[in-house]
Structure 1
Amino acid sequence: MADSAQVPTLVYLVTGGCGFLGEHIVRMLLEREPRLRELRVFDLHLSSWLEELKAGTQNVIDACVQTGTQYLVYTSSMEVVGPNIKGHPFYRGNEDTPYEAVHSHPYPCSKALAEQLVLEANGRKVNGGLPLVTCALRPTGIYGEGHQVMRDFYYQGLRFGGRLFRAVPASVEHGRVYVGNVAWMHILVARELEQRAALMGGQVYFCYDKSPYKSYEDFNMEFLSPCGLRLIGAHPLLPYWLLVLLATLNALLQWLLRPLVLYTPLLNPYTLAMANTTFTVSTNKAQRHFGYKPLFSWEESRTRTIQWVQAMEGSAR
């Protein structure tokens, strides 16, 4: 959020500023926002249940209204759209591509409700009488330095002697985006909201870059292969029905252990459906509306991520 009353010296509040993406946004603001006067970081580790996230988003909107903060950029997710639980592919779609968003997992449901709250708040009067201007960014699968799932895959590969086993057909494509480019898009949106409020207010934007379309496993190997890991199998080594069974058992075990420990398996029904459904975006809406271009090329994004994995490799010895 940026408080327009402070222009040309801006005050930003980054909620979730200690998380994976939040840390990169904070760093990007410090490095590339010359009008930054004050940066405030707020982070509170809450559970991911539906009503808590919805209430938290409503609290942020209410705080904007009460403090007279005029601009709110919400970090949504492509999972607001899909992949849906029916496994329908989304191939090179954009923000206007028809797609049946059908979800059952708490995360996409909660993100969809929170995004709806933010977009519906666009135009609401804040303290002082000015309208609140909101928009939402929907990153595809984010990767880069600090990515917990990438870290989990790396250590899993080490436990299996430097090997990972293919579970998803290579033909299933996903759009991925480097975390630095997601942070950069947030900065550009915050800069342009004041001047382009009529155009950008109430809008959603897929957040993407030039990273190649590949399956999750093949994409991850772009970074893990240079660090000594191998992906075994040209085709999935286990039949899909068996993966469904294992994912269901993991979900049951997670539910049974919830009162005692936090068990978060990589494989569960939601991640299995995500990984096995093609979901790729191709859109220039962000470029047309506020001049977005990736700050980091694919080559630089790949190099930075490999160096981070290699640093983990050294620390694991």
Structure 2
Amino acid sequence: MFLILIKRIDQGTENVIQACVENGVPSLLYTSSMEVIGPNHNRDPFVRGSEDTPYQVINHMPYPRSKAEAERLVLEANGIQVQGGQTLCSCSLRPTGIYGEGHQLMREFWEECVRRGGVHVGGIPDQVEHGRVYAGNVAWMHVLAARALREAPQSVAGEAFFCYDDSPYKSYEDFNMQFFAASNFRRVRVPLVLLFLMAFINDLLRWILSPVYNYTPLLNRYTLAVASTSFTVGTDKAFRHFKYTPLYSWDQCRQRTQEFVDSFGRDKRA
């Protein structure tokens, strides 16, 4: 099933590239993901890494594998000729953990705490940190990169860029919990080995139930590996290549996201 999924995504990317060729489209911007790089299967940390930081990329899960293959196809298509004699210029953007208004995983995280009676169960080590980037700044980087592809293609063609802003480095748990203060959730820490056992059981249940029920728990071995492995970026490549700076400051990102989170309780009461 995984190979079929990846093959379909690859075929879709190839179809997009072919459509650019046949219709004389000279610019192609791909929305990739930090997960094309990592965290890898060995859970090696990537701390303040840039686009040029050496890192052993090991992707076993379908999502990072499919994103990595699609990104490869897009970047390799850079420089091919399209209808009308122009040259296709392509680049890729790799957001780290996106957050902001409408972030469904943040809502699910909050609702899970509510179902447990106001208890957040976690156990990610304190030293783990992740890079986060506000959705509005990701969108702004797309606007600037697309503009550069049209007006100054030599600055971005064939390149990949991490999406970043001034959001603080925290674990996914700590980052989400900073917005949940008004909910007064109690935090219960469990040993990391127990979390891995719970993740294994969830994966086993998903496999057993798959013929009759789509069991999709938030905690599984893959999500726990990502959550327990530090992955942060420290780069200014997007600024150097197409003058990107965040459109929204951290204070604005925090305020907008907090207003979104505060709506959870109102929605539940309604």
Instruction: Trace 1:166-315 onto structure 2 (pairs within 5 A).
Output: 166-226=122-182, 228-233=183-188, 237-315=189-267
Q: 1:96, 1:295 → 2: CA distance?
A: 25
Asked whether the equivalents of residues 85 and 102 of structure 1 are also in contact (C-alpha less than 8 Å), the reply is yes
Who is 1:49 aligned against? 5
Q: TM-score, normalised by structure 2?
A: 0.95
Asked whether the equivalents of residues 92 and 161 of structure 2 are also in contact (C-alpha less than 8 Å), the reply is yes
Residue 116 (structure 1) shift: 0.2
Q: 1:306, 1:84 → 2: CA distance?
A: 31
Unaligned runs of 5+ in 1: 1-46
Unaligned runs of 5+ in 2: none
Q: 2:104, 2:142 → 1: CA distance?
A: 21
Between 155-164 and 78-87, report the one with greater CA deviation: 155-164
Q: TM-score, normalised by structure 1?
A: 0.81
Who is 1:122 aligned against? 78
| Alignment length (residue pairs) | 267
Structure 1 pair 109–143 and aligned structure 2 pair: CA distance change class (3 A): same
Could you list the per-position Cα deviations for residues 212-271 of structure 1 after superposition, in whole angstroms to 9, with x for gaps in the alignment? 001111000121223x142514xxx32222222211121122223233332211111111
Percent identity reads: 54
Asked whether the equivalents of residues 48 and 107 of structure 1 are also in contact (C-alpha less than 8 Å), the reply is no
Asked whether the equivalents of residues 155 and 242 of structure 2 are also in contact (C-alpha less than 8 Å), the reply is no
Residue 198 (structure 1) shift: 1.6
Asked whether the equivalents of residues 121 and 190 of structure 2 are also in contact (C-alpha less than 8 Å), the reply is no
Asked whether the equivalents of residues 175 and 212 of structure 1 are also in contact (C-alpha less than 8 Å), the reply is yes
Letter in 2 for 1:200: V
Letter in 1 for 2:122: R
Residue 48 (structure 1) shift: 9.2
Who is 2:15 aligned against? 59
Pick the aligned partner of 1:77 from 33, 53, 58.
33
Q: 1:66, 1:255 → 2: CA distance?
A: 43
Letter in 1 for 2:267: S
Asked whether the equivalents of residues 98 and 135 of structure 2 are also in contact (C-alpha less than 8 Å), the reply is yes
